[in-house]
Structure 1
């Protein structure tokens, strides 16, 4: 029997075929999960085209900065999945390009607010709405995507690093508060991947090449490897794991340089 047969998963963050969220969607579907993918208006066509590749996948409009749209998205999720939800994937992050180009000391108040709102607070907002749906199913798994710049300086990552630190702290507090309802909350800290978001960071290509040389496995990672890790964390095999940040980076995080 497929590992996730009968499980219902809501995935935020699919933008195109290179998205980490898309790799996770494919991994979950391969083990029997029924999916719903959200989209921003400007990404609707791409998300709908991808959804067609996995039979039975639903698509839901949602701008994570709008509470009314979050309310509608989770209400629609409840309708699609008959009142329950097992898996929530948060693969959402954004900072205005200028905040990644200018020195960190020049971070604007507006840019800081935008990055933290979209990249970190959105997890809290989603969790609050997902929890009742998961409780109806006897528990569930929430999973976010982060990056090691939350702990170490990665030039030009700037305010996004602060947002990832806030996201990781949120994972721990949510894990603590929702644990009594058998809801687990974890994050994957993935190595650099060629995604739409990563291409907006100056020096990304050089750092990816450096990681491929320096990491213990002497290579870079692939989107599918993050998808497989997400599958594990979303499955019964990880039933005693919560509040954790799992590195999927070919071991790069253990290195001193």
Structure 2
């Protein structure tokens, strides 16, 4: 079978990328890769403090839409999708790259995690993906692809990952169920599981430098991955070349997850 793939392969595709915090963010790696392949971008920032870091990146990538998006504020969610609906009227790609838990609950063990902290972590890191997917789906009139970011600690115990392990496990299960529910609309859903990366979010984990060193040592390829590796993987999965791939957790970690 020969596919008639245009070059650049994502030319004209509309991509919503959430969760960019700075130029080390996984979401930024995704946005760069989509743009390189011709996609148009809508990029969000969390608040005014983060805007100063994200706005230059959005300008660099020629983002057509640049807006605040705190998923805990329904009015910001409404404003984002109202603008996408007015200016684009459709959507092809959605990236959810956000995770958060209160510091005390993140750095303490699961046994001592507060109920409030667990619920906050689950809401921001997992349920927000479901809420945003619900808003994206009607705009994916010709099918589309959704991504969220997970980690190996969802499947195996990773010391010091703590509350985020169960939360990411719920996120990966959500991906499978959304892939099932959205499949008839030709919408594919993926969980992307990078190896440890030096992002702002990861810096809150206890002994994170040790996690980095261990990942590099254990990976069959013998090195850490970077945001570009993740971005290009997502870009590939967004193209027609991966049109029958959906519902899985895709590891981008140099093979570290296969090791005992």
Residue 232 (structure 2) pairs with residue 225 (structure 1): no
Q: 1:20·1:195 contact (CA, 8 Å) conserved in 2?
A: yes
93-102 vs 10-19, greater mean Cα deviation: 93-102
Q: What is the distance in 2 between the residues matched to 1:16 and 1:4?
A: 24
**Cα distance change, pair 56–124 in 1 and its aligned pair in 2 (3 A):** closer
| Paired position in structure 1 for 2:255 | 251
1:114-193 matches, within 5 Å, as 114-135=120-141, 138-193=142-197
1:1-257 matches, within 5 Å, as 1-41=7-47, 42-81=49-88, 83-135=89-141, 138-256=142-260
User: Structure 2 length normalisation: TM-score?
Assistant: 0.95
Mark the runs of 5 or more structure 2 residues left unpaired by the alignment: 1-6
Q: 2:15·2:40 contact (CA, 8 Å) conserved in 1?
A: yes
1:98 positional shift:
0.7
Residues matched between the structures, number = 253
Q: 1:85·1:130 contact (CA, 8 Å) conserved in 2?
A: yes
Q: What is the distance in 1 between the residues matched to 2:167 and 2:11?
A: 34
User: Structure 1 length normalisation: TM-score?
Assistant: 0.96
**RMSD in angstroms over aligned alpha carbons?**
1.0
**Cα distance change, pair 219–56 in 1 and its aligned pair in 2 (3 A):** closer
Mark the runs of 5 or more structure 1 residues left unpaired by the alignment: none
1:139 positional shift:
0.7
Q: Deviations over 1:139-163 (max 9, x none)?
A: 1000111001001111221111111
Q: What is the distance in 2 between the residues matched to 1:90 and 1:106?
A: 28
1:56 positional shift:
4.1
SS at match of 1:217: coil
Q: What is the distance in 2 between the residues matched to 1:67 and 1:172?
A: 25
1:45 positional shift:
1.6
96-105 vs 122-131, greater mean Cα deviation: 96-105
